[in-house]
A and B are shown apart, each in its own frame.
Chain A
Amino acid sequence: DVQLVESGGGLQQPGGSLRLSCAASGFTFSDYAMAWVRQTPGKGLEWVSNINGNGGSTFYAGSVRGRFIISRDNSKNTLYLQMTSLRAEDTAVYFCAKFSDTHFGELSPFDVWGQGTLVTVS
């Protein structure tokens, strides 16, 4: 069964740091690009960052660029999001998500999502 399980969320003060993890199983992790998407009641779903299969290419939303770093460890089937200089507006549920297509990679939709981990900055 294809599964993504996030962890690492919690309460952090403004200016602080957190590292989110996403453990993947049930598919060949290194074949797929991965992403982080966050959700707030006010702003809805917001793409945060994505990374290609070998970790050599990363992209960020403007709201987090320079503060967040996405990475992956294909030997551990794990995706990470290192968050620094946290702001109140980073408060959200953070989902990791898998791109659906190995050929089109990051020009494909998200076909598998984790259950989400709540980050509160206050």
Chain B
Amino acid sequence: AQSVAQPEDQVNVAEGNPLTVKCTYSVSGNPYLFWYVQYPNRGLQFLLKYITGDNLVKGSYGFEAEFNKSQTSFHLKKPSALVSDSALYFCAVRDTQTGANNLFFGTGTRLTVIP
């Protein structure tokens, strides 16, 4: 069975400081990992994904994430937070062993960037 854990419901960070939103996963086979962002009353927007290759992946709006196989983690990071980054962030996984094409989402982390 696949699962995704986002241990922090809420992350607060000051504008200009680095931010990290944590994600750990559990799958049977190799994981395909994704990050999505949701602004208020909007749909989910794709930020970045890890499929294979370089463990550090770069995505939209200056975000990046690092795949760590030994720790089964895929934390989202940004060197300098903006107030406009305040939103709900979801980590998601696709388990390649099951052959299923859908994504399984974590519970979300609300990021608040304080001016």
Binding partners A and B: no
Chain A residues within CB distance 8 Å of chain B? none
